Amino acid sequence: VTIVATPVVDRALKALRQAEAAAGVTISMVRDVEAVHQASEVWRKVWERTGDRPVPPEVLRALSHAGNYVGGAYRDGRMIGALLGFYAGQDGVDHAHSHILGVDPDARAGGVGFALKLHQRHWALERGLDRIDWTFDPLVRNNAFFNINKLGCRGVEYHVDFYGEMPDAINGGDRTDRILVEWRLASPEVEMAAAGGAAPAGADIGAWRERGAVVAIEVGAGEEPVLGDDGGDLLLVQVPEDIVALRHQDAAGGQRWRAAVRDVLGGALGRGLEIQGMSRDGWYVLSR
Ligand SMILES: CC(C)(COP(=O)(O)OP(=O)(O)OC[C@H]1O[C@@H](n2cnc3c(N)ncnc32)[C@H](O)[C@@H]1OP(=O)(O)O)[C@@H](O)C(=O)NCCC(=O)NCCS
């Protein structure tokens, strides 16, 4: 690979260093057998799988050896977060696809995930790639907020049951519908987000309502989906605070959420709307 040096790459490195310092971690590429086993173990723990691991160490070793992105976040010599992505492209390599990101439950919400993503962003920009895409479960509010608001991604496609069944603690046996997000690495929004100043397009839902945004789904008093009008081109869709807990307590309730969001969010993305923003209290903002 040719390593490119541009002002954007320089700024990406600066943003990364800042994020590492803020999170109190050092991030490095995962290459040797020991590190590969540690990364695989981080994800096993996060997804609480018994039996097979989300990514077996030998597959990870091969992906790493082939030049793909595997990053590990270390604190006090221990790996507490790991991220895997690989080269992608339908007509030759022009972007990367990110597959799995997990942070040790004891180390969450301290900026470790953010720092890992900035490390991956720098890796990609340095290799001349300006886009990383990945999928996430639209029902998981924390992840949506992280991807869309904190990182500055856009949600562009809806995939029904992307992986088939995944019997782990997070997915809880529900259908694995996913949203594909695109992270435009050198865009102004993403540069701002990387510098820690995410200017959240979706933060102020009141302001969106004033501009004519229509509520298509809202979380009801009993945590159930309340359907509104989803016909327009400026929509608000709210998702529950903690779908993972809800699925555990009430599998049927979790499935009702899946069906409602598939219909409305899947339908809207299908007719060309994009997810523009996400508020902390769980509202997606969709527009053309
Ligand atoms: C998603 C995940 C990787 C984020 O890593 P992290 O180190 O906790 O995230 P950061 O501290 O860098 O960023 C936190 C932001 O992400 C959001 N977030 C996502 N998951 C969160 C969680 N479990 N707890 C708290 N905040 C979470 C918050 O909105 C937070 O924003 P804030 O700091 O402004 O409040 C991590 O929570 C995790 O491993 N989750 C389980 C695995 C998973 O779902 N991975 C898929 C990611 S698409």
Digit-coded pLDDT (tens) for 45-58 = 999 877 789 999 99
Report how far residue 287's alpha carbon sits from residue 250's, in angstroms, rounded to the nearest whole number: 32
Atom nearest to 47 CA in ligand 1: 42
Distance 146 CA to ligand 1 centre (A): 6
Q: pLDDT (tens digit, 9 = 90+) per residue, 34-47?
A: 999 999 999 999 99
**Ligand 1 contacts CB of residue 102 (under 6 A):** yes
Task: Band the pLDDT of 200: cuts 50, 70, 90.
Answer: low
Asked if 214 and 229 touch (Cβ cutoff 8 Å), the reply is yes
Distance 143 CA to ligand 1 centre (A): 6
Spell out the residues 6+ positions from residue 236 whose beta carbon is closer than 8 angstroms to its own.
Answer: 205, 208, 209, 213, 214, 215, 216, 218, 283, 284, 285, 286
Distance 62 CA to ligand 1 centre (A): 27
Which residue has a Cα nearest atom 40 of ligand 1? 102
**Ligand 1 contacts CB of residue 146 (under 6 A):** yes
Distance 109 CA to ligand 1 centre (A): 6
Report how far residue 171's alpha carbon sits from residue 121's, in angstroms, rounded to the nearest whole number: 27
Phi (first) and psi of residue 94, to 5 degrees:
-135, 0
Running DSSP on this structure, what letter comes out for residue 138? T
Mean pLDDT of 16-27: 98
pLDDT of residue 49: 77
Tally of helices (H runs) and strands (E runs) in the chain: 10, 12
Between the two ends of the chain, the Cα-to-Cα distance in Å is: 37
**Ligand 1 contacts CB of residue 108 (under 6 A):** yes
Asked if 133 and 147 touch (Cβ cutoff 8 Å), the reply is no
**Ligand 1 contacts CB of residue 265 (under 6 A):** no
Asked if 102 and 81 touch (Cβ cutoff 8 Å), the reply is yes
Q: Which helix (H) or strand (E) holds 248?
A: helix 243-249
3-state secondary structure of 113: helix
Quick one: tokens of 123?
A: 């890796």
Distance 149 CA to ligand 1 centre (A): 12
**Ligand 1 contacts CB of residue 150 (under 6 A):** yes
Distance 33 CA to ligand 1 centre (A): 27
Tell me the pTM.
Answer: 0.95
**Ligand 1 contacts CB of residue 110 (under 6 A):** yes
Report how far residue 208's alpha carbon sits from residue 190's, in angstroms, rounded to the nearest whole number: 22
Mean pLDDT of 248-266: 96
Quick one: tokens of 63?
A: 């992906």
**Ligand 1 contacts CB of residue 136 (under 6 A):** yes
Mean pLDDT of 197-209: 79
Alpha carbon 190 to its chain centroid, in Å, reads 14
pLDDT at 199 over 60: no
